[in-house]
Amino acid sequence: MNYIRHMNSFFTIVKNDVALTSSHISLYMALFQYWNYNRFQNPFPVYRENIMNLSKIGSKNTYHKCIKELHDARYIYYHPSPSKFLPVKVSIGRLDIEEDPVSRYKQLGLFGEESPDSTSPKIDTGSVPNLTAASTDFDTVPVPKMGHNIKPNFLKDKTVSNTPTKNFSKNEKQKKEINYPAGVSNSVHHAGQNRTAIIPTLGETEEFFKSANYPVAEAQKFFYYNRGRGWMLRDKVPIKDWQSLAHKWMLGIGKNNEEKKQSPEAGPAADDLLKRFLQGQKIFNLITVEHFQQLQLQLTETVMQDAWKERINQLTGTNQHSLNQLWDAYLNGNEKNELLLKDKPNLVNLAKRIAVYKHFQSQTENPP
């Protein structure tokens, strides 16, 4: 797969296709990036949220419209998902292979041909070497002269000897104010050297939660949530007392749990979900762990394997390094891996939701 030749071909087609808009091009480039991530294998899985974020398309309607139109125009091939738990897939045809061997190695005319009377230099890249595995043709042509005008630096001999020295201290002060904003001290980066340090480690956070009889899982949520925010409050003020914030975190969880118990809109019950499922509605996103407990179900080995596969699908295609490491750990299948042990609560909760969904399916097959 020749990356550059494919993109040159695509933009040549874009130039002549008046039906394409900026949304189509942005979406195609995002899909092409995913294709590259999957080593140009067809078909490859895609996830709408990630593709919309990468292509900067904010509307689901626009996304689906552009997907359909790119498919109809044969820029891509859309493969619907055969199951609720599997992602949709897309194939992209290769544009780097041309039938004409003479024009195959020429620069594509994206911006039109130069007129014979033009005084500007005409760029001719010559032949592109055949870099296939069985080829040794590395013969390239000399790089053309582009006629760049390098302007001499007439200020080279000028000095700043006449600059008043009294302004140096003022400029240095402004430089420090820009590079070291007020309120952010070096103690942020040295948590163990200053009592006013605001960044704890994960171990310190877990120990504090244990000492306060709080769940360790909440300590991990608290730590990663605030680390993602740069240990800043909403008004961009550094956190000075993370222990007090941890207490507030737990008080907020208790309050939210009470509101869920008292609120009539906390979510549909298991019986209501079953009715919706029998009516053909999509209810998997509405299933919670509480429904698993209400139905008094049990986790089986088959359900855990289904949850394992679904967790891999959830992590596929992400651009975050930490999630990529977790994805690799799931693919390797070592249950004693540290990342998998930390992610086990998420895997168990997912398995419980899948167990509820399978229970509803069994009710459909064997109605009471």
Phi-psi region of 203 (alpha: psi -120 to 50; beta: other; left: phi over 0): alpha
Query: Could you read off the pLDDT tens digit of each residue along the chain, which spans 368 residues?
Result: 788 988 898 898 888 888 899 999 999 999 999 888 888 889 999 888 899 999 999 998 999 999 999 999 989 999 988 877 788 899 998 887 754 443 443 443 444 444 444 444 444 444 444 444 444 444 444 444 444 444 444 444 444 444 444 444 555 555 555 454 444 444 444 444 344 546 899 989 988 988 888 888 899 899 999 888 888 887 778 888 888 888 888 888 755 655 554 444 557 888 888 888 888 888 888 899 888 888 888 889 899 989 888 888 888 876 677 787 888 888 888 888 888 888 889 989 999 999 999 888 887 766 55
Residue-wise DSSP of 153-207 = -TTTT---TTS-TTHHHHHHHHHHHHHS-TT--GGGG-TTT-TT-----HHHHHH
| Direct distance between the N- and C-terminal alpha carbons of the chain, in angstroms, rounded to an integer | 56
How is residue 48 written in tokens?
């709408």
Helix 216-228 with 242-262: angle, nearest 10 deg: 110
Interatomic CA distance for residues 269 and 279, integer angstroms: 16
pTM for the model stands at: 0.32
Residue 64 · residue 73 · CB < 8 Å: no
Assign residue 295 a region: left if phi > 0, alpha if psi is -120 to 50, beta otherwise?
A: alpha
Q: How many CB atoms within 10 Å of residue 311?
A: 19
Helix (H, G, I), strand (E, B) or coil at 79: strand
H/E stretch holding 46 reads: strand 44-46
Residue 219 has a CB neighbour count (10 Å cut-off) of: 24
Q: Per residue, what are the HEC states of 50-68?
A: HHHHHHCCCCHHHHHHHHH
Task: Give ranges for CATH 1.10.10 in the chain.
Answer: 3-92
Which CATH class name applies to 3-92?
mainly alpha
